[in-house]
Amino acid sequence: MNKLQQTISNIVHLPASAAERAQARLDSLTKPPGSLGRLEEIARQLVAITGAERPSVRRKSVIVMAGDHGVTAEGVSAYPQAVTAQMVLNFLHGGAAINVLARHAGARLVVVDIGVNAEFPPATKPADTSGNVEFLRRKVAPGTRNFAREAAMTHDEAVAALTTGIEVVEAEIARGAELIATGDMGIGNTAASSAIVAAMTGQPVAKITGRGTGINDAGLAKKIEVIGSALALHGLTKPGSAGILPAMPALDLLAKVGGLEIAGLGGVILGAAAARRPVVLDGFISGAAALVAAGLAPNVAQFCFAAHRSVEAGHRVMLETLGLKPIVDLDLRLGEGTGAALAMHLIEAAAKIYNEMATFAEAGVAEKH
């Protein structure tokens, strides 16, 4: 059994007993039952995921996977492909939004070159000497092929990228990570994510495709046309209609229209779930990775928190398909893991409420009759 198969086999269905135990403690705390709303839901889920009597999420890691997409040749992005490598360097120099928000959350930032179409010099390393940022060279290929013309990846490349994500998150967990967040960097990756969500949900391409990096109306129309034609090329549309066929197996779909960073994030999600660590999903790209992971391991969504609802058109569909509710809704659409880093604060707050509040008995407060 290879590493991917072994990881999938280790993802369990969470028993109801842990959540019931958590609810009993929540109801014993000095507050009216349910009065802390979503924080109580989050606390219950943390107990169920970890199996711990007092779950801790103090040690946090944000894993940002970076990769390029051949489909950018079709004009689906407002930015050139070279921006992917430039932004990786920005991450390493501490200048991006995710650097600011990861520092604010007290999280390590792990930047992974899993498929950037550029070679970083051997001396390339984080300028931040605190050890809070790490750069990993795990290139599976220098970007994907143009999925509008051919399969984005081979089967072996897709498996290698998923496995790389598993290995990266396992290393973070070995360092002590208790809460994992996903982030992405890759020009063209909203087109790949839109193709994945259309294929896996059966929704019309026009309904789930957004502006990504900020393309204009003509660019959006072109993007929708490219994705629709690609789905037809790969046998994912009904002959003679605009309808989408039920998705092919998730791994095959990933190879045909996905991205290396999407696959890597899928591996991160699978690896964290197998180790019973909670995963905070960022936005649209992380949602595509989670859909693929759920296609491989149906129980995986139980281990995930949806950080926010992106303004990308298909993100709501993704979350509904996964059965996840966003923690915040701030009109975010940057990616990088920014929404996930923000949500980490609320998840940690939920854990502290659960762990540190006094019960009625401990505080000597009369309970409601």
Task: Round to whole Å and give the CA distance between 120 and 124.
Answer: 6
Close Cβ partners of 323 (under 8 Å, ≥ 6 residues apart):
301
Q: How many CB atoms lie within 10 A of CB 16?
A: 9
Instruction: Choose the weakest-confidence range: 34-48, 115-129, 270-284, 302-316.
Output: 115-129
- Give residue-wise pLDDT tens across range 111-142: 999 999 999 988 888 886 667 899 999 999 99
Is 366 inside any structural domain?
no
Domain assignment present for 202: yes
Is 356 domain-assigned?
no
H or E segment at 217? helix 217-233
Contact 86, 105 (CB under 8 A): no
* Percent of the chain residues past pLDDT 70, beyond the cut: 96
Per-residue confidence (pLDDT) for residue 219, from 0 to 100:
84
Active site residues: 336
Q: What is the pLDDT of residues 164-174, one digit of tens each?
A: 999 999 999 99
pLDDT above 80 for 220: yes
- The whole-number pLDDT of residue 244 equals 59
Q: How far apart are CA 157 and CA 267, in angstroms?
A: 13
124 found inside a domain? yes
pLDDT category, 367, cuts 50, 70, 90?
Answer: confident
pLDDT band at 241 (very low <50, low <70, confident <90, very high): very low
Torsion of CA 62, 67, 72, 78, to 10 degrees: 30
pLDDT range class, residue 246, cuts 50, 70, 90: low
Residue 127 has a pLDDT of: 81
- Alpha-helix residue ranges (DSSP H) falling in 66-211: 82-92, 97-105, 155-174, 189-201, 205-208
Question: What's the rounded Cα separation, in Å, for the pair 65 and 337?
Answer: 10
pLDDT reading at 224 higher than 90: yes
Asked whether residue 252 is domain-assigned, the answer is yes
10 Å CB burial of residue 3 (0-12, 13-18, 19+) is middle
Question: Is 90 exceeded by the pLDDT of residue 215?
Answer: no
Q: Which whole number is the average pLDDT over 324-336?
A: 95
CA dist list (Å): 89 to 68, 78, 104, 121, 183: 15, 20, 20, 11, 15
Q: In the predicted model, what is the mean pLDDT of residues 252-279?
A: 98
In this prediction, residues 339-367 reach a mean pLDDT of 95
| In a domain? residue 238 | yes
Does residue 75 have a pLDDT over 70? yes
**Is residue 44, in this structure, part of any structural domain at all?**
no
Count of domains for the chain = 1
What CATH number corresponds to the domain at position 81?
A: 3.40.50.10210
Structure tokens that stand for 77 in this block: 């992005």
| Cβ(255)–Cβ(158) below 8 Å | yes
| Residue % of the chain over a pLDDT of 90 | 85
pLDDT in tens, 76-110: 998 999 999 999 999 999 999 999 999 999 999 99
Of 40-54, 89-103, 130-144, 245-259, least confident by mean pLDDT is 245-259
CA distance linking residue 85 with residue 82, whole number of Å: 6
Identify the band that residue 46 occupies on the pLDDT scale cut at 50, 70 and 90. Answer: very high
Region 256-266: mean pLDDT is 98
When the pLDDT of each residue in the chain is averaged and rounded to a whole number, the result is: 93
- Higher pLDDT: 198 or 248? It is 198
Phi-psi group of 329: left, alpha or beta (phi > 0 → left; psi -120 to 50 → alpha; rest → beta): beta
Range of the domain at 124: 3-11+58-346
Residue 18 lies in a domain: no
